[in-house]
């Protein structure tokens, strides 16, 4: 069976050597030494100033909303994983969608400006499939209207923009380290905090708002990463050059094979992390045809992202035509470090046969 992704498992010996350390000191959670070590190493690896590790990517978004004191309406993209919107709603905020650019699949800056009113407090764009948003445009819009910007950068681990980390755009960028992501800690996530003065606050918000032995400073939550998760992250971080190299080879083979198909347009100032590879078909019928042809061979691509978030049952939104159209026509193909070349060739052949292109 071949899925869209496969959880990367690092060397068992390496993981167990970290587990031995946990057993030696009996410290399993609450900002333990491995979480601290992973924070330091990730800050260097990602080339960012402030990183705070948390329990998952969804709670990273929620902590960011809290840190930046959002209220009222938040402008976001309808083309993302459901957590981008659900986290806004469950924090008592109203998501207002701005439609995507059908080429880049990212939120379109012009559409953001149209949605700003006196109730707007922030913009939450997503670097879809690791492709950088129009960060400079979004920066200008946010400054002009005095809005916070939180990038859901769940797909953008390690991506650079004009030679610096893409994560340094916005007030905060959030990452997900879920097992299905490019880099993972089983479950996990992080806040990249670009406003230095918010870092201390983030540290007590993730720990119930506690800022000292007998002191609760603010309304917080429990968003802590544990030591076993940090051990997984530390074990995988060393393998990132290998993981990226493998994925790049697979990504480039797909690009070559599908040069007559439509693909997501990459930002020319953005580096790539090869975290996803998606094909855009002419219509939904073709997607379903390809999907069932692959499923017959026990290959399971995923319709990322489908359905478009403006159709969610718990919100009232205007129709987002570009997002709805793309959602119906897109299919994410298997890509992960251990995907065999022969299996990839089979995937390519089945798709080409199914659409006869």
- Interface residues with ligand PLP (CB under 6 A) are 56-58, 80-81, 83-84, 126, 152, 154-155, 176, 178, 189
- Give the nearest distance from C-beta 187 to ligand PLP in angstroms: 6
Distance CA 57, CA 183 (A): 12
Q: How does DSSP classify residue 71?
A: -
Distance CA 308, CA 28 (A): 39
Query: For ligand PLP, which is the closer residue by CB, 88 or 290?
Result: 88
Distance CA 221, CA 59 (A): 9
- Give the nearest distance from C-beta 167 to ligand PLP in angstroms: 14
Nearest to 332 by CA among 310, 298, 299: 299
* Alpha-carbon distance values, 142 to 99, 149, 150 (Å): 17, 7, 11
- Give the nearest distance from C-beta 333 to ligand PLP in angstroms: 16
Distance CA 76, CA 55 (A): 23
Distance CA 168, CA 50 (A): 10
Query: For ligand PLP, which is the closer residue by CB, 211 or 317?
Result: 317
- Give the nearest distance from C-beta 285 to ligand PLP in angstroms: 27
Query: For ligand PLP, which is the closer residue by CB, 85 or 148?
Result: 85
Q: Are 184 and 175 in contact (CB under 8 A)?
A: no
Query: For ligand PLP, which is the closer residue by CB, 181 or 329?
Result: 181
Query: For ligand PLP, which is the closer residue by CB, 18 or 81?
Result: 81
- Give the nearest distance from C-beta 176 to ligand PLP in angstroms: 3
Distance CA 126, CA 43 (A): 21
Nearest to 237 by CA among 328, 158, 145: 158
Query: For ligand PLP, which is the closer residue by CB, 155 or 329?
Result: 155
Dihedral of the alpha carbons of 114, 117, 123, 125, in degrees to the nearest 10: -20
- Give the nearest distance from C-beta 177 to ligand PLP in angstroms: 7
Distance CA 273, CA 250 (A): 12
Query: For ligand PLP, which is the closer residue by CB, 152 or 229?
Result: 152
Q: Are 335 and 272 in contact (CB under 8 A)?
A: no
- Give the nearest distance from C-beta 346 to ligand PLP in angstroms: 27
């Amino acid at each position: 069976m071949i899925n869209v992704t496969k959880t990367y498992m690092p060397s068992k010996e390496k993981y167990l050597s970290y587990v031995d350390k946990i057993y030696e000191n009996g410290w399993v959670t609450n900002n333990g030494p491995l979480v601290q070590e992973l924070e330091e190493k990730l800050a260097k690896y990602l080339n960012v100033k402030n990183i705070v590790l948390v329990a998952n990517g969804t709670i990273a978004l929620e902590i960011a909303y809290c840190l930046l004191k959002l209220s009222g309406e938040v402008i976001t993209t309808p083309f993302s994983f459901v957590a981008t919107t659900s986290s806004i709603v469950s924090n008592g905020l109203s998501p207002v969608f701005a439609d995507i650019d059908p080429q880049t699949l990212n939120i379109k800056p012009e559409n953001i400006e149209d949605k700003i009113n006196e109730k707007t407090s922030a913009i939450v764009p997503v670097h879809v499939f690791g492709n950088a948003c129009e960060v400079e445009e979004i920066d200008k819009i946010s400054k002009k209207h005095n809005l916070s910007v939180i990038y859901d950068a769940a797909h953008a681990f390690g991506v650079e923009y004009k030679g610096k980390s893409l994560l340094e755009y916005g007030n905060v960028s959030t990452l997900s380290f879920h097992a299905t992501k490019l880099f993972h800690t089983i479950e996990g996530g992080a806040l990249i905090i670009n406003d230095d003065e918010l870092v201390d606050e983030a540290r007590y918000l993730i720990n119930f708002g506690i800022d000292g032995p007998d002191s609760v400073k603010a309304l917080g939550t429990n968003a802590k990463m544990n030591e076993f998760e940090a051990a997984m992250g530390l074990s995988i971080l060393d393998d990132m050059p290998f993981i990226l190299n493998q994925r790049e080879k697979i990504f480039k083979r797909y690009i070559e094979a599908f040069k007559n198909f439509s693909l997501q347009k990459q930002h020319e100032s953005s580096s790539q992390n090869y975290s996803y590879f998606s094909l855009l078909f002419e219509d939904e019928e073709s997607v379903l045809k390809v999907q069932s042809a692959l499923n017959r061979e026990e290959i399971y691509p995923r319709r990322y992202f489908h359905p478009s978030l403006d159709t969610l049952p718990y919100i009232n939104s205007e129709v987002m035509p570009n997002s709805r159209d793309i959602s119906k026509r897109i299919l994410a193909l298997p890509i992960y470090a251990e995907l065999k070349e022969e299996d990839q060739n089979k995937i390519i052949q089945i798709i080409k046969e199914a659409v006869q292109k």
